[in-house]
Chains A and B, each alone.
Chain A
Amino acid sequence: MKNSLKCEIEPLVKEANFSLRRDVLRLLNKAFFVEKNKKAKKALSWILENADIAKRQDLAICQDTGLPIIFIEVGSNKSISCLCVKKIEQEISLAYRKNYLRPFSVSPICRKTPSYEGAITHVDFNPEKRGIRVTVFPKGFGSENKSQLKMFNPTVGLKEIEDFIVESVKRAGPESCPPFVVGVGIGGTSDHALLLAKKALLERVDLANKDGLLNGLEKRLLKKINALGVGPMGLGGKCTALAVKIKTAPTHIAGLPVAINISCHALRSATRELKSVIDEK
């Protein structure tokens, strides 16, 4: 089992780090053609050229190969063992090392011993799907450092929430590598809202939200964010964000958590259905 799992996980790690997502590339290309500001256009051309070089040369799109986040989604016809989850983590760690990606963690207080340990794993059960899907999401910290959480009162107006989101993007600034994709989580508990915001970044960014209300909100926010004038690399222009993606969950009557997880322009992730995972009970 180990070998075949390796054959499935290593390409996933490579794809996640060397190939920019197609939906992201589509929006970057669109931004390049629409942009009139010369400096912003140049920045976008660098970004597109970089994606091309990374893919051709098996180089990481960004030297910040993230603290990888692993999502394992288990469908209705499958189960998964602890051993299997640990093996997936192990193969991801090995693939990072083998492909010359940056050691992705250090001890939090003494800041020593850079290593390939400590990827963050989430296992979800989804009765609406079949099979087991693994997603590798290398999240860089230039943008991760700008994550925000605010616990609003339940009586708050939408306007206040929008202002909070726009202000958070403004504060992320040029150092978080705009144009961004802005993930927003609304509802649940504090921790759940943050996770929703992160998961929102895994949605197709070039497609409209199926929920009419959220679609309207996403479009309105994108317009406001793109009026900020930050632009690619902070050089001005129309494109501060490529997309805003919102995910919601039911919440408590006493509150309204709103979380923001920003991605840099190099939004990378790769997903595949595992064929080799079998339950070992």
Chain B
Amino acid sequence: MELGVYNSEMRKRTNTIKDNGLKKLKAGEEILFSGYVYTARDQAHKKLVSSIKKSKKLPLDLNGQIIYYCGPTETPKGKVIGSCGPTTSGRMDAFVEPLLKSGVVAMIGKGTRSKKVRELIKKYKCVYFVAPSGCGALLAERVLSKELVCYKELGPEAVYKLKVTGFPLIVAIDSKGNNIYQHLQK
């Protein structure tokens, strides 16, 4: 299954298809995603959420966007990006709600989510994907461009906008709250 380009710039034109596209996905389904994602992990989450709480203007518009929990290596000469696999999602659990409120429609990472986050995903009708974990070289081949968005001082933890193609993802928690890791969680 190929899920088309999904991002806020395209949102107006493709609103119906794309929204339905995400909401229709079922836990366990594997897709190849093409479109834009924004990397953000621990420190970027802390900064974003702190800004949201203080009602400060964010350095990026999160509405309609997909957050990828990732801190790539440095970019080797002649390449678009270095190794760029997902990091553990659970560490971002505490920051999820403010981001969903700001319009984030999907998250990509690895591993299980807390009960609270599973409920939030259902409430906001978004999707949590897992990407092949520990496969950063394979994923690097599917990144077409990388652009620094903000928090440069964080180095690998800065926010980058990535354009990806054929990015393999598994729906881990769908918009109805179904969860592929149910058997491993209490």
Contact = CB atoms under 8 A, between A and B. Distances in A.
Contacts of B135: 46-47, 49-50, 62
Contact of B132 (A63, A99, A140, A233): A233
A103 B43 CA distance: 15
Contact of A50 (B30, B90, B111, B132): B132
A229 B181 CA distance: 11
A234 B73 contact: no
Interface string B171-186: 0000000001101100
Interface in A51-78: 51, 53-54, 57-65
Nearest to A178: B133
Contact of A175 (B43, B112, B156, B180): B112
A230 B184 contact: yes
A69 B133 CA distance: 22
A101 interface: yes
B168 interface: yes
B137 A61 contact: yes
B88 interface: yes
B73 A47 contact: no
Interface residues of A, number: 45
A42 interface: yes
A114 interface: yes
Interface in A104-121: 111-112, 114
Interface residues of B, number: 45
A235 interface: yes
A147 to B, nearest CB: 14
Contacts of B30: 42
Question: By DSSP majority rule, is chain A's interface helix, strand, loop, or mixed?
Answer: loop
Interface string B15-34: 00000000000001010000
B145 interface: no
Given A102-B71, A114-B157, A235-B180, A50 B110 contact: no
A233 B156 contact: no
Interface string B71-90: 11111110100111101111
Contacts of B138: 46, 49-50, 53
Given A63-B82, A173-B184, A234-B181, A102 B72 contact: yes
Contact of B83 (A61, A111, A177): A61
A82 B87 CA distance: 36
Contact of A63 (B89, B136, B180, B181): B136
Interface of A: 39, 42-43, 46-47, 49-51, 53-54, 57-65, 99-103, 111-112, 114, 140, 142, 145, 170, 173-177, 229-230, 233-236, 264-266
20 contacts: A46-B132, A46-B135, A46-B168, A54-B83, A60-B73, A61-B136, A61-B137, A63-B84, A63-B136, A64-B136, A99-B76, A100-B75, A102-B73, A103-B155, A114-B156, A140-B134, A142-B134, A173-B184, A174-B130, A175-B112
Given A53-B138, A60-B136, A62-B135, 5 more contacts: A53-B140, A59-B83, A63-B71, A65-B73, A111-B43
